[in-house]
């Protein structure tokens, strides 16, 4: 076998990760993270981080929420940074990260883990003020699934509305892309955020974006496929993995009259920051 330049995994673990689909049912959330309406599990993030980086490398999540990616990176022995627009979530993330550092003790000594409370659209501003050169070896993130948290008919949202301490949507900030109700404007804003990360990324750095296609008004908006098409103009779209959840209850959508699926899968899109993409444009 050739030298492993990508990660620290053995051949068996590498091969297992290459399967194009996987089942991951998230464990219960910590109390502090419950307030966030759409948190992804640290356990899943850790598997991706350990495949696409080596120990001591640096991971970024430009939409950090309550810090899942940063915590997963710490557990993996990686440096990590998050960007979060909502000051409440950024504060919770910092608290959970500090708790994780105390729990992990000496094994994370010397590792960096920080969350910036700022707009991800301005991520490139971090380069001159914080970093002297492209620093990130990997991006792992998940965007808002358009404005679907505003959908009043969602069963999960109904439950959260009945609990005053839990947020129903990310924020009321107009800069929050999850509050953009026009699909094309939302998509454009999202793509601009991801393309704006390029100055911060090392050559050959991978980006993993967890996303779903969106059902709204009786039709599908192919968010995952639209991101693939548009972001593929800046980064190389390398592949996808399908994250499936098999512990969700089925609902009789459209029973007896129309096809409406119970959608329990997400797309894990893999992009790579290839220099030849920019040369080809030039």
pLDDT tens-place string over residues 113-171: 999 999 999 998 887 677 767 789 999 999 988 867 656 555 454 554 444 555 544 45
- Ordered structural domains, the chain, with CATH: 22-249+257-281 (3.40.50.150)
**Could you tell me which of 242, 252, 233 has the C-alpha nearest to residue 211?**
242
Which residues are CB-contacts of 178 (< 8 A; sequence separation ≥ 6)? 144, 146, 147, 149, 169, 170, 171
**CA 91 to CA 206: how far, in whole Å?**
28
Please give, one letter per residue, the 3-state secondary structure of the chain.
CCCCCCCCCCHHHHHHHCCCEEECCCCCCCHHHCCCCCCCCHHHHHHHHHHHCCCCCEEEECCCCCCHHHHHHHHHCCEEEEEECCHHHHHHHHHHHHHHHHHHHHHHCCCCEEEEECCHHHHHHHHHHHCCCCCEEEEEECCCCCCHHHCCCCHHHHHHHCCCCCCCCCCCCCCCHHHCCCHHHHHHHHHHHHHCCHHHEEEEEEEEEEECCEEECCEEECHHHHHHHHHCCCCEEEEEEEEECCCCCCCCCCCCCCCCCCCCEEEEEEEECCHHHHHHHC
**Which of 226, 232, 233, 201 is closest to 211 using CA atoms?**
226
pLDDT band at residue 32 under the 50/70/90 scheme: low
Mean pLDDT score of the chain, rounded to an integer?
86
Q: What confidence tens digit (pLDDT) does each residue in 13-23 have?
A: 999 999 999 99
Q: What is the mean pLDDT of residues 242-260?
A: 90
User: Taking the mean position of all CA atoms in its chain, how far away is CA 202?
Assistant: 19
Query: For position 276, what pLDDT does the model report?
Result: 64
pLDDT digit string, tens, across residues 47-57: 999 999 999 99
Can you give the pTM of this predicted structure? 0.87
Q: Rounded to whole angstroms, what are the CA distances from 131 to 25, 84, 125, 257?
A: 36, 18, 10, 57
Per-residue pLDDT tens over the stretch 76-93: 999 999 999 999 999 999
Tokens of 169: 């949507």
């Amino acid at each position: 076998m050739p030298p492993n330049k990508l990660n620290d995994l053995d051949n068996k673990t590498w091969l297992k990760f290459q399967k194009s689909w996987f089942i991951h049912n998230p464990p219960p959330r910590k109390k502090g993270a419950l307030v966030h309406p759409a948190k992804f599990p640290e356990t899943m993030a850790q598997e991706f981080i350990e495949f696409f980086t080596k120990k001591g490398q640096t991971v970024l999540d430009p939409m950090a929420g309550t810090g899942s990616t940063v915590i997963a990176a710490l557990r993996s022995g990686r440096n990590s940074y998050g960007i979060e627009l909502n000051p409440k979530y950024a504060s919770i993330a910092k608290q959970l990260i500090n708790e994780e550092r105390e729990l992990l003790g000496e094994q994370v000594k010397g590792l960096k883990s920080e969350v910036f409370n700022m707009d991800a659209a301005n991520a490139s501003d971090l380069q001159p003020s914080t970093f002297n050169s492209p620093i990130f070896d990997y991006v792992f993130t998940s965007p808002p699934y358009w404005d679907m948290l505003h959908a009043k008919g969602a069963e999960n949202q109904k439950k959260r509305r009945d609990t005053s301490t839990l947020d129903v949507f990310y924020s009321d900030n107009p800069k929050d892309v999850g509050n953009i109700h026009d699909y094309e404007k939302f998509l454009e804003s999202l793509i601009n955020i991801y393309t704006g990360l390029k100055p911060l990324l090392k050559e050959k750095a991978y980006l993993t974006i967890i996303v779903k296609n969106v059902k709204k008004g009786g039709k599908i908006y192919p968010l995952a496929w639209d991101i693939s098409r548009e972001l593929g103009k800046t980064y190389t779209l390398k592949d996808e993995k399908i994250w499936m959840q098999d512990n969700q209850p089925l609902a009789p959508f459209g029973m007896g009259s129309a096809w409406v699926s119970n959608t329990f899968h997400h797309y894990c899109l893999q992009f790579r920051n290839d220099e030849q993409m920019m040369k080809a444009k030039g």
